[in-house]
């Protein structure tokens, strides 16, 4: 019967490998962003706090948790994003398209590092790209 034949496509969250895999990608992504000269302008307060407090920096811990929740929720996982909406989180930063694309490149590199397949990589980067109007130029 048709209902027995049709296998549900697993969520993007499941195909990425769940919260452990997403956390590993987020950690790699944050490392790349921290080392990216295009990000120095906007991330200076966060980088200064990490310089002073290391891994116990509250800004770093909060950003990491928010990114894991945001990607988890957006990909169909059980997480609930509890951070600011994207416009509020980036207001006053005047983020440029160049900066946005540079950050997206850091996420792409992090996904490649863990050999995330093209289909899953494209799906996640498409979700990220859809947020651009809420982030650039605010």
Q: Which residues bind ligand HEM (CB under 6 A)?
A: 39, 42-43, 45-46, 59, 62-63, 66-67, 70, 83-84, 89-90, 95, 99-100, 103, 128, 131, 135
The sign of the CA dihedral 62, 28, 22, 56 is negative
Task: Answer whether 28's CB lies under 8 Å from 20's CB.
Answer: no
Nearest approach, Cβ of residue 2 and ligand HEM (Å): 38
Residue 77, number of CB atoms within 10 A of its CB: 19
CB of 76 to ligand HEM, least distance (A): 16
Q: Which is nearer to ligand HEM, 1 or 54 (CB)?
A: 54
Residue 79 to residue 43: CA distance in whole angstroms = 25
> What is the Cα–Cα distance from 92 to 77, expressed in whole angstroms?
31
DSSP state of 84: -
C-beta of 70 vs 108, nearer to ligand HEM? 70
Q: Cβ of residue 20: shortest distance to ligand HEM, in angstroms?
A: 19
C-alpha 117 chain-centroid distance: 17
Q: Which is nearer to ligand HEM, 12 or 89 (CB)?
A: 89
Using the minimum distance from each CB to ligand HEM, give the nearer residue, 113 or 138: 138
Minimum Å gap between C-beta 22 and ligand HEM is 13
The minimum distance between CB 5 and ligand HEM, in angstroms, equals: 37
Residue 126, helix vs strand vs coil = helix
């Amino acid at each position: 019967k048709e209902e027995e034949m049709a296998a549900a496509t697993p969520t993007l969250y499941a195909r990425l490998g769940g919260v452990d895999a997403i956390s590993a990608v987020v950690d790699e992504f944050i490392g790349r962003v921290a080392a990216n000269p295009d990000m120095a302008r906007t991330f200076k307060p966060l980088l200064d706090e990490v310089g002073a407090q290391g891994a116990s920096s509250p800004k770093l811990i909060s950003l990491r948790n928010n990114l894991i929740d945001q990607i988890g929720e957006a990909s169909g996982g059980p997480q609930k994003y509890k951070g600011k909406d994207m416009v509020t989180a980036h207001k006053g930063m005047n983020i440029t398209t160049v900066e946005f694309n540079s950050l997206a490149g850091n996420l792409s590199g992090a996904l490649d590092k863990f050999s995330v397949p093209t289909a899953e990589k494209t799906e996640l980067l498409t979700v990220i790209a859809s947020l651009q109007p809420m982030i650039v130029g605010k």
